[in-house]
């Protein structure tokens, strides 16, 4: 059971939003900061064909049509298993892509170029924030939450499922920098937007459950 109070959760979200606004201002004034250049150099320093494949595989789930197919199929599976509310919230993770795209257009930051970093994967659209990172946190974070909170599966399955989700969430930032698709500040921005959206989804989900429980008690 999640025990973080509503006020504390709200304070955390406000802090993340404030941090995101400050980060946006920072990259607006310093689009190619030494921090980004140094960290990209550090992450890309050790590279080889096998590592290239691994990093591409980590980012594979974030490709537009792959992510849409994954969300829709997962939602359909949850619906077949009669988890209607969970299926609906799973579908809502697709909105993360639209939110990220809107921010990208507004900020309009250029992606890393080959004269500055090693570009293995040429990505579309603007750079800030990272859509992959935001989506991974929203989708895989929500799946991990469902598995943890719902307790519908065996302990072994839950540990494996949550482990896979968390490993993807924490490895995707390195993957995007390694592939030369994003700067460090891009993935940090994606981490923030994804965390904010995931917090909203979880808070809404828990609120609906509490509301249903109150109604059930009143009807008894």
How is the chain split into domains, by residue range? 6-31+54-213
How high is the pLDDT of residue 212?
67
**What are the pLDDT tens digits along the chain (220 aa)?**
444 556 777 888 899 999 999 999 999 888 878 899 999 999 999 889 999 999 999 999 999 999 999 999 999 999 999 999 999 999 999 999 999 999 999 999 999 988 889 999 888 889 999 999 999 999 999 999 999 887 777 888 889 999 999 999 999 999 999 999 999 999 999 999 999 999 999 988 988 877 767 776 766 6
Reported pTM? 0.91
Distances (CA, A) of 196 to 60, 99, 173, 188, 199: 23, 11, 17, 12, 5
Query: Strands, E, within the chain: which ranges?
Result: none
How high is the pLDDT of residue 9?
73
Structure-block tokens of residue 3? 């025990």
Instruction: Quote the CA–CA distance of 217 and 203 in Å, as a whole number.
Output: 21
Is the distance from CB of 93 to CB of 201 less than 8 angstroms? yes
Q: Phi/psi at 139 (nearest 5 deg)?
A: -75, -60
């Amino acid at each position: 059971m999640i025990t973080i109070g509503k006020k504390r959760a709200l304070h955390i979200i406000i802090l993340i939003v404030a941090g995101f606004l400050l980060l946006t201002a920072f990259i607006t004034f310093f689009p190619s900061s030494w921090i980004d250049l140094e960290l990209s150099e550090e992450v890309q320093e050790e590279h080889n064909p096998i590592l290239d494949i691994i990093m591409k595989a980590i980012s594979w789930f974030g490709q537009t049509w792959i992510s849409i197919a994954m969300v829709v199929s997962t939602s359909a599976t949850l619906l077949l298993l009669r988890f209607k509310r969970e299926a609906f919230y799973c579908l809502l993770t697709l909105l993360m892509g639209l939110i990220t795209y809107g921010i990208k257009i507004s900020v309009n930051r250029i992606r890393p170029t080959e004269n500055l970093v090693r570009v293995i994967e040429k990505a579309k659209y603007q750079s800030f924030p990272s859509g992959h990172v935001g989506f991974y946190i929203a989708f895989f974070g929500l799946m991990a939450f469902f598995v943890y909170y719902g307790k519908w599966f065996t302990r072994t399955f839950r540990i494996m499922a949550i482990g896979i989700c968390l490993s993807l969430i924490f490895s995707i930032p390195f993957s995007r920098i390694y592939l030369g698709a994003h700067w460090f500040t891009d993935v940090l921005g994606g981490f923030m937007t994804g965390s904010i959206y995931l917090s909203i989804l979880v808070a809404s989900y828990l609120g609906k459950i509490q509301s249903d429980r109150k109604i059930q008690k009143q009807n008894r």
